[in-house]
Structure 1
Amino acid sequence: MESTFFILIILIALVADVILHRHLKWLPLPFCFIVTGILLSFLPQYHHYIFDSDFFLFFVVTPLLYIESQSASRYWIGRGAINIFSLAIALVVVTVVAVGFSLHVLFPILPLSLAIALCAIVTPTDASAVSAFMQPNQKFKIPTIILQNESLFNDASGFVAFDIALAAFATGTISLSHATGTFFVEFVGGLVLGTVIGMGFHWLRSKMIRWNDDIPFIMISLELIVPFVVYVCAEKIHVSGILAVVAAGLVQGMETDKLRLVSSQVQLVRNHIWELVSQVLNGFIFMLLGISLPAIMARIVSLRPGLLVFFTLIGVTLYGLKFLLRLVWTRYFVWMHLSSNHRWLDSCLMAVSGASGTISLSLAFLLPQFKRLPGGIDRNALLYIATVVILISLAVAAIIVPKMTKETAAGSGKAEIDWNAKMIHRALKTVRANRQHPAEVDIVISALTQQLHHHDAKNQRLAKKTFDVAHGVERTAVKNLLDTGEITTDQYHMYLEFIELAYNTVHSNFLQRLWLRLRFGSHTLKVYRDFQTWQDALLTSPVVTEQLYWKNQFEEHGWEIKQIESVGFKAAIKALEDYQRTTGRHLNGLHPVIRFYQERHRRMSLPTPDSKLVYQLFLQAFHAEYEFVQQLVADETVSVSKAKTLQQQIIYDEMAYLNGGEGFIKR
């Protein structure tokens, strides 16, 4: 139970941090996770937390690498094979050896094997973390693609180099020939094994599709076990489990490319599941660092306070050496695919964007416990140095990358047009053109209008003020019906009682609404003496129940409520529109009140909606939105990327309607 609460609190903290980051985009999300982890470290259950590194590698790192590899572009991997070799293998080896040796020379208390292990830890780059800082900029398209492909393969290179360095530290000797042979066997062996197992699962999933067994439960369950099976098999035959997982992920990505429109539901569900898993695991790693950091620093300070400053200096030096080597390497040993007249700028972006992140943290946590060496070098010291490099690299990227890529991003300086709102307005215009089915049209318009205003902050004072305006005008309009003899005194008083009760219900709090629901449900049972009617009254919104009740009351007296309600509705809507024009209030603030009157009018005065007609109108609305997007692309008004975002929104709206279509009619 304690472990459950341990993970549950972290998950809650992850959600809170993501919400915070959405409102403070200048603050890198990894920093949010780390700070929150530091705060959690003060809770009793997180004091001096120690976890199993093998368990961490198997259940956290393995699925992360699989997700990253299966989402990589096979096209650009093929075109950029030279760059992948240059950055993900050659640069990793040179960085590990050259920077590790330099670090050992500058700080002799750091053994060469551990210096190399440190370099292996911070060499993998985190393209996903840096991409959050980048602005869309066609000028840097090629460097961005190169960075993404590099981060996929240098993760594996870093793991292999890390294993070799730890083996050298354990044995006390470094054999260049043995290290090279081990690197080759683990690297190539891992790729071959991962490819073979990935193809096996690909064959099995293909059979499932052919046998018509490609339902999400079967297909997603099969895929979820792939990275774990691959990793275990690789470790059993002593090849790189990390590279095997990467290879299997690439095979899975190729399978997805071939599926195209086959098993569409499975592909959609799978993408959402892996996206969720990726976000949770990434945040989990950074939060674990925050939880561990205070204890690590406390242990270092307990040895000698000056050690913390000294280890910080080692971390800064390591980052500086790595940055300089990466800057020169990307300038002279990277092929840009296209000619560029700003090569040093490209190299600077790639050097700054070579930030250490999730995989580096994963490697750091895999450091084993060992006896403290002279100068205070132990696992805590290495963890702290790696943390310094990670934080510096992320901070530098967060500051410099947005400034570099912002120069020509979207570069017109014009205000961004809300194409999503324009798309919905096009659908509204199409649906409103249907004059033959007012009840069904009202349902669709209500749903589409809600899309436009669902992000608006609710202003209770404005809503009440506008409701008061509409309510007062409706009372006057109904009084005019009485004065002109169009309704009787009894009808007038009954209708007045109806709208007054609705007014009080709308402006009541939760407890008051609960009491009204119980009281009105009890009254309904007395009147109708029917248990099902009483149950429906309790489970339905009090406002809806009251409206249906008064409609029945009028019918039982032989009166027609439609005439009175229609007059009141038209007067209220006109008053709201006039109020918006005279006060300059934006329609957003009036939307909740307008929606209340529209839904009441539909229930009280319009025919019972036909679900088939509602379905057809929603189809018309979605079709109008698709045509709108198609026209934008044809006119080159928006980019294909923006058009895809709009199309994705339409698809999600369609799915929401298909999954809950009945709910639109019951409102």
Structure 2
Amino acid sequence: MTLLYFCLVLAAAVLASAVFDQLVRGVSMPLIQIAIGAVLALCGVTVAGFEVDSELFLVLFIAPLLYQEARSVDKVALWSNRIMILSLAIGLVIVTILVVGFLLNAIQPSIPLAAAFALGAALGPTDAVAVAALGQSAGLNKRQEILLSGESLINDASGVVSFQFAVAALTTGAFSLVDASASFAVSFFGGILLGLALAAVLSFAVARVRDLGLEDTTFHVLVDVITPFFIFLVAEAVHVSGILAVVAAGLIMSFFNHRIGPDVARMEIVSSSVWQVVTFVLNGIVFVLLGMQLPFAMSDSWADRSIGNLELVGLVLAISAASIIMRTIWFQGINFVGRKQRAREEQKNSGGTPEQVRAVLKSVKFVTGESLREAFALALAGPKGAISLSIMFTLPYMVGGEYFHERDLLIFLACGVIVLTLLLANFALPLLLPKREEEGFETDTQAVIDVLRAVIEDLSARQTKENRRATQVVMKQYSDRIARIKSGLDDEPDEDDAEMRRLVLKWERDFVQHAIDAEEVSPMTGYRMLNRLAETEALMNHNRDIKWLLGVARRRISMEVHSIKRFLVDKVPMMSASDEEREMRELQAKSLESVMSKLRELLNDPAYRTEDVSALMVEVQRDLRRCKRIGRDIGTVARVEDRATEVRRLGYALELEHIQRMYESRRISRAMAKYMRENVALMQLDLEDKV
């Protein structure tokens, strides 16, 4: 039970961090989670004595995180910048290992050189979540974002493989460069090849299951979630790199999925949502554990008389400075090479002679004020995080049959470097690369247009021969919405139009309530209808506060009470789902007919504009025709969903996804995101009412 309570505390801490992240701007999520973990530790919830098998920790945290990173990365951009990314992900990691290892061993000789190299290997990878969060506060351009995201993906694998070799040298006490190079090549390339092969096998198996018609959403999501664990365990069983196998599988997996369509797209949306939760929880748990580990590791190191507190702080600062300096020099070299390449191309394109080209290349300086500022900023934009801490937790407790006393010290140093680099990235980087003023919140109109355009692009990519006509109909509807917004016709309705729509909802409520009182409809159906109308009005008014929530709860309780009372007192038989749905459609059709008659009367009312009443009559008439058509064949509709309706449903889901992305990237305000979500919810509710 103690382990269960501990897991629940971690889950609650991650959940709390999601709330604080929405309230506290200017502080990245990892820092919030670390702070929550530290508070828990100070309150007595510590990780003292918490031990986990090294292999279990790798497969539980690192494998799924890297797999999802690899799946979602921009493959085209990754390939276009492959040379620079590989230099960062492999070359810079190796240099960091050597510099940190020799520096730490020279300052603190009690730490074995192999253990110091292990710390350098753990600090080689950059944290992908923290790097992604930097784009929200700093003015990174597209090229810089590609370099940082590609580096954070691949250097995880190189750091883990290097760490494993350093730990092997630590535990065995022997190291051979030839043997290590051969083992590294087998592990490196063997992991990649095995990952590609397993990805192909799994994709083939899933395709055969689809061909048999045995696949459903649950199957699809479970296969996605299980894949990284399966690939990692198989790779480790055959003694190749499980991390590289997972990364290779994630990179290639999307190329095997050629099927598109509403059903497959819906499963992809569900899978994406599941993975968002899984990766957020796993990253959150690791950072909360970091915060909980800090006081514990700090107290042990502080109590250790063999090393002073100032020396501990000095070690953290020295290792952090060495890592940042090496990254700065490396990015300065990349910048220098890039400037020379651009100068060569400009001279060649302008018809310069070879001598002129050489002269121009010689004039390119290695360091300029602007290049140094950018290099230093990009060096700070590589904070350490979840992967580094996860790797350090796998350090062995026993070395050579004796307790490894330096383990706590190395974890403390890693924690200190992680916190320091996160703080620098969060607070210093925006000063070096500030966001331009025009990169703030977008205008409301432009934000809506961007979301609708993104949905059109997504729907276009999901077209198949079977759903092309339905998809094009929905895409045209989105194009019409964009056109109306640009012409100013799709802004928030004016007060007269809104008041008229509220009046229509009141007429429908009165009609349904009268039908319930006159026992013309079953109470369950009637109160379901009233509840939908109330939700529609609340969404239209954008009034979803605590009173709205209490009102919804009260109406639902009232509906259930009246239905049970009618069943017990009047012995009204329970209806089947299809009969209840048919009665709902018939009630809706009758209420719309009543509304149509009242709208005709409004045509002669000078208080209302004729064009507004006519436009509303067209909408009501369209909905009435749809209800009557569906009502004649509700059984068929229940079994086979209309393709256009399915595509609309998919479009609304994509809208919500793009709205969330815009909010997370701080392109829209929280109020605007809430307003846009409620508009989509209103359209979803309207769609479900008509199906």
**Shorter-chain TM-score above 0.5:** yes
Residue 410 (1) aligns with residue 438 (2): yes
Cα distance 1:230–1:98, how it changes in 2: closer, same or farther (>3 A)? same
Structure showing greater radius of gyration is 1
The answer as to whether partners of 1:72 and 1:253 remain within 8 angstroms in 2 is no
Match for residue 381 of structure 1 among 409, 432, 435:
409
Cα displacement (A) at 1:126: 1.2
Cα displacement (A) at 1:198: 0.7
Equivalent residue number for residue 390 of structure 1? 418
Residue 229 (1) aligns with residue 230 (2): yes
Cα displacement (A) at 1:353: 0.8
Deviates further, 69-78 or 155-164: 69-78
Cα distance 1:219–1:416, how it changes in 2: closer, same or farther (>3 A)? closer
In 2: Cα distance, 1:289 partner to 1:227 partner: 24
In 1: Cα distance, 2:104 partner to 2:674 partner: 51
Match for residue 490 of structure 2 among 414, 422, 426:
426
Cα displacement (A) at 1:53: 2.7
The answer as to whether partners of 1:114 and 1:166 remain within 8 angstroms in 2 is yes
Equivalent residue number for residue 458 of structure 2? none
In 1: Cα distance, 2:550 partner to 2:535 partner: 23
Equivalent residue number for residue 24 of structure 2? 24
Q: Which amino acid aligns with 2:31?
A: F
Cα displacement (A) at 1:226: 1.3
In 2: Cα distance, 1:205 partner to 1:115 partner: 45
SS at match of 2:331: helix
| Paired residues for 1:516-665 under 5 Å | 530-532=570-572, 612-613=626-627, 653=681, 656-657=684-685, 661-662=688-689
In 1: Cα distance, 2:444 partner to 2:683 partner: 28
Cα distance 1:248–1:455, how it changes in 2: closer, same or farther (>3 A)? farther
Cα distance 1:409–1:164, how it changes in 2: closer, same or farther (>3 A)? farther
Cα distance 1:232–1:380, how it changes in 2: closer, same or farther (>3 A)? same
Residue 352 (1) aligns with residue 416 (2): no
Equivalent residue number for residue 366 of structure 1? 394
| Paired residues for 1:84-483 under 5 Å | 84-135=85-136, 140-256=141-257, 259=260, 263-304=264-305, 307-333=308-334, 342-370=370-398, 378-408=406-436, 410-411=438-439, 419-420=447-448, 426=490, 438=504, 450-451=538-539, 454=542
Aligned residues: 536
Equivalent residue number for residue 9 of structure 1? 9
In 1: Cα distance, 2:205 partner to 2:289 partner: 37
Cα displacement (A) at 1:44: 6.1
In 2: Cα distance, 1:615 partner to 1:314 partner: 76
Cα displacement (A) at 1:292: 2.7
In 2: Cα distance, 1:152 partner to 1:101 partner: 26
The answer as to whether partners of 1:143 and 1:336 remain within 8 angstroms in 2 is no
Cα distance 1:130–1:615, how it changes in 2: closer, same or farther (>3 A)? farther
Cα distance 1:416–1:119, how it changes in 2: closer, same or farther (>3 A)? farther
The answer as to whether partners of 1:99 and 1:322 remain within 8 angstroms in 2 is yes
TM-score by length of 2: 0.65
The answer as to whether partners of 1:91 and 1:329 remain within 8 angstroms in 2 is yes
The answer as to whether partners of 2:138 and 2:429 remain within 8 angstroms in 1 is no
In 1: Cα distance, 2:338 partner to 2:678 partner: 37
The answer as to whether partners of 2:172 and 2:400 remain within 8 angstroms in 1 is no
In 1: Cα distance, 2:418 partner to 2:34 partner: 11
In 2: Cα distance, 1:197 partner to 1:290 partner: 37
The answer as to whether partners of 2:536 and 2:682 remain within 8 angstroms in 1 is no
**Deviation by residue 1:274-312 (Cα, 9 ceiling, x = unmatched):** 111000000011112222332222222332295343223
Equivalent residue number for residue 471 of structure 2? none
Cα distance 1:104–1:523, how it changes in 2: closer, same or farther (>3 A)? closer
In 2: Cα distance, 1:293 partner to 1:23 partner: 25
Equivalent residue number for residue 355 of structure 2? none
Equivalent residue number for residue 63 of structure 2? 62
The answer as to whether partners of 2:217 and 2:267 remain within 8 angstroms in 1 is yes
Identity %: 26
Deviates further, 325-334 or 446-455: 446-455
**Deviation by residue 1:343-386 (Cα, 9 ceiling, x = unmatched):** 43432232111110111011011111136999x95111110000
Cα displacement (A) at 1:216: 1.3
The answer as to whether partners of 1:227 and 1:245 remain within 8 angstroms in 2 is yes
Q: Which amino acid aligns with 1:225?
A: I
**Deviation by residue 1:375-400 (Cα, 9 ceiling, x = unmatched):** x9511111000000100110000012
The answer as to whether partners of 2:139 and 2:433 remain within 8 angstroms in 1 is no
Cα distance 1:615–1:55, how it changes in 2: closer, same or farther (>3 A)? farther
The answer as to whether partners of 1:440 and 1:610 remain within 8 angstroms in 2 is no
Cα displacement (A) at 1:529: 5.1
Q: Which amino acid aligns with 1:347?
A: A
Cα displacement (A) at 1:445: 9.4
In 1: Cα distance, 2:120 partner to 2:433 partner: 28
Cα distance 1:151–1:258, how it changes in 2: closer, same or farther (>3 A)? farther
Equivalent residue number for residue 72 of structure 1? 73
Gaps of 5+ in 2: 344-367, 450-483, 510-531, 576-586, 588-596, 609-619, 631-643, 656-664
In 2: Cα distance, 1:439 partner to 1:53 partner: 61
Cα distance 1:403–1:253, how it changes in 2: closer, same or farther (>3 A)? farther
The answer as to whether partners of 1:159 and 1:242 remain within 8 angstroms in 2 is yes
Cα displacement (A) at 1:160: 0.8
SS at match of 1:367: coil
In 2: Cα distance, 1:180 partner to 1:613 partner: 71
Deviates further, 247-256 or 351-360: 247-256
Cα distance 1:44–1:21, how it changes in 2: closer, same or farther (>3 A)? closer
**Deviation by residue 1:229-285 (Cα, 9 ceiling, x = unmatched):** 211111112111111111111111333577587711121111111111000000011
The answer as to whether partners of 1:296 and 1:384 remain within 8 angstroms in 2 is yes
Cα distance 1:284–1:103, how it changes in 2: closer, same or farther (>3 A)? same
Cα distance 1:72–1:301, how it changes in 2: closer, same or farther (>3 A)? same
Q: Which amino acid aligns with 2:626?
A: K
Q: Which amino acid aligns with 1:220?
A: V
Deviates further, 404-413 or 12-21: 404-413
**Deviation by residue 1:394-452 (Cα, 9 ceiling, x = unmatched):** 000001233344342535898766844996982875996999x9459979997676446
Equivalent residue number for residue 346 of structure 2? none
In 1: Cα distance, 2:7 partner to 2:263 partner: 37
Cα distance 1:251–1:441, how it changes in 2: closer, same or farther (>3 A)? farther
The answer as to whether partners of 2:125 and 2:388 remain within 8 angstroms in 1 is yes
**Deviation by residue 1:98-142 (Cα, 9 ceiling, x = unmatched):** 332233223333321111111101110113212213248886210
The root-mean-square deviation of aligned C-alpha atoms, in Å, is 5.2
Cα distance 1:246–1:534, how it changes in 2: closer, same or farther (>3 A)? closer
Cα displacement (A) at 1:524: 7.8
Q: Which amino acid aligns with 1:108?
A: P
Cα distance 1:101–1:614, how it changes in 2: closer, same or farther (>3 A)? farther
Q: Which amino acid aligns with 1:389?
A: V
The answer as to whether partners of 1:140 and 1:346 remain within 8 angstroms in 2 is no
**Deviation by residue 1:452-473 (Cα, 9 ceiling, x = unmatched):** 6547656x7xx9xxxxxxxxxx
Q: Which amino acid aligns with 2:436?
A: T
In 1: Cα distance, 2:25 partner to 2:134 partner: 9
In 2: Cα distance, 1:519 partner to 1:149 partner: 54
Cα displacement (A) at 1:11: 1.1
The answer as to whether partners of 2:46 and 2:296 remain within 8 angstroms in 1 is no
